[in-house]
Amino acid sequence: MQVAALRHRSESEDCFVLDRNRVRVRFHTAKNDVEKIIVHYVDNYMPPLSAKQVEMEKIGSGEVEDHWGATLEVPYHRIKYTFEVTGKDGDRKIFGDRGIYDYSKKSLLADGSYFRVPYLHEIDMDKTPDWVKHTVWYQIFPERFANGDKSNDPKGTKPWNPDDHPGREDFYGGDLQGVLDHLDYLQKLGVNGLYFCPIFKASSNHKYDAVDYFEIDPAFGDKDLFAKVVNEAHKRGMKVMLDAVFNHIGKDSMQWQDVVENGAKSRFADWFHINSFPVEPYRNPAKGEGQPPYETFAFEPTMPKLNTANPEVQDYLLEIATYWVKYFDVDAWRLDVANEVDHHFWKRFHQALVAIKPDFYIVGEIWHSARPWLNGDEFSGVMNYPFTLQVEDHFFHHAMSAKAMVEHLNDQMMLYRDSTNQAMLNTLDSHDTARIRTVANGDEDLALQAMAFIFTQTGSPCIYYGDEMGMEGGNDPDSRKPMNWSKEDSPIWKRVHALVEMRLKHAQTFGKGKVLLSVTEDGLIKVDRTGEEHIIAYFNTTDHDIRLAADNELLKQNYDGGKLAPKGFIVIKA
């Protein structure tokens, strides 16, 4: 047995409270190396001699590790536990808080060897909003969704043309009235969460360079109109998520312009990370221009970085964050460039929001492993790029085999607690990426197969506006074309609608049930979900038909006569 590969960390993603009477533990071993693991557990104030035991189940295999899990009953709200590990070579070890020992009765009963959870405090639990696990999101880039009011179109607004290739500075007149006019459409599609890219007053078409966070951009409408959008969405059972950047602010903001004008004497000078005065002209080190006078997002001079360690800046941003919840009843924040803001601020942010709405949803834009932000006191979840990009690597780019993808995904899920995985935002494309159909080289079946795979996973799936219409587009700004409204009720629209319908009808299992990912001997990707129901999905990413006997189908593509064709899938109720 590879003793060096044995791994567990208490009070982490390897040991977390499910409720007042249950703790979930995980253990990790070298791949195909361990035969059996038994958890011995008992109340902290009882002797190890009276410990109960439960055999762990293998919950997934990763690149180099096997992952094991067990749920422990904790009647007195505190627990101590240790692991008895038996290798395939017959070797037995005790893995405990103070190290690894050869198995013996003495080692097993050594009280100091037990890991401890001193008390199951509910206030310390990683709680994520339950409603998110029953939500399919629809991402709206407001400037390109629908033009409902031509009277507020910016100067130079271009004609609405879904076949255009937008430039970075182009405007097409999309607004909140356009969203309001199409809420019935979104309800018909079946989605129940609206994720808006920024709607606040800003200079650009994308609005990630905010000028005033307390105002709706005039080209989108006003606060009365936004309030109506939220109220009408809520009437239709839809949640509303706003998008903001608290890492930086726009160059045209009052605060930054005061710094430009008054330099070190500006009352806002400490609001930013300034290296030298005057702040203009900007020097870009990526172009060999030397030290920049101030910190920015990337090396973008129009987006000066805020000093979120400054209490004044914190109070200002928290006032913004709570304002739209208190007065407009929004349900969630999506936070752009979230990983570049300090943890101290995000902890204050979390406290301020859940004080207003205990089930508030907070999503960070983080493109890498996000464990430091996901311990229950900062974000509910993140945009799950490390997970979804590996799906793309297999389905679209063929950069990894089905087996490798499953291994990578299993490892990804082990980074976070179950409740965190359930609150991830899973999207295959967005305003920041090429559209799914373009990445699939125009192959509709392939795009929908990958989308269906995401819809069977733990985490909240998200559709980028227009994907249901089969829209295409390369990396931004090409992925931000005006919505093609001519394809409503088209064959691809109906297929996406059926996918949304299936996910929400079985949301209790897809959103909260156990997941086991594997590859069959024939090469099919198998997604096994156990919760309120038992649902199994198979995906054929090979280049040939595979025989598969399936009954009680919930949804299928390219399955006929007991054969699952390439780019096909079938979801069945077991």
Catalytic residues: 336, 365
Return the CA Rg of the chain.
Answer: 26
Sign of CA dihedral 375, 378, 379, 382: negative
Contact 388, 425 (CB under 8 A): no
Q: Determine contact, residues 449/557, Cβ cutoff 8 Å.
A: yes
Report the alpha-carbon distance of residue 277 to residue 517 in Å, rounded. 56
Distance CA 26, CA 10 (A): 9
- Specify which residues 102 forms β-bridges with: 93
Question: Residue 87, SS3?
Answer: strand
Distance CA 257, CA 169 (A): 22
Q: Return the half-sphere exposure (C-beta side, CA atoms, 13 A cut-off) of residue 252.
A: 11
Identify the CA nearest to 437 among candidates 471, 462, 391, 482: 471
In order, the DSSP letters of 446-469 are: HHHHHHHHHHTSSSEEEEETTGGG
End-to-end Cα, the chain, rounded Å: 36
Left (φ > 0), alpha (ψ -120 to 50) or beta: where does 13 sit? alpha
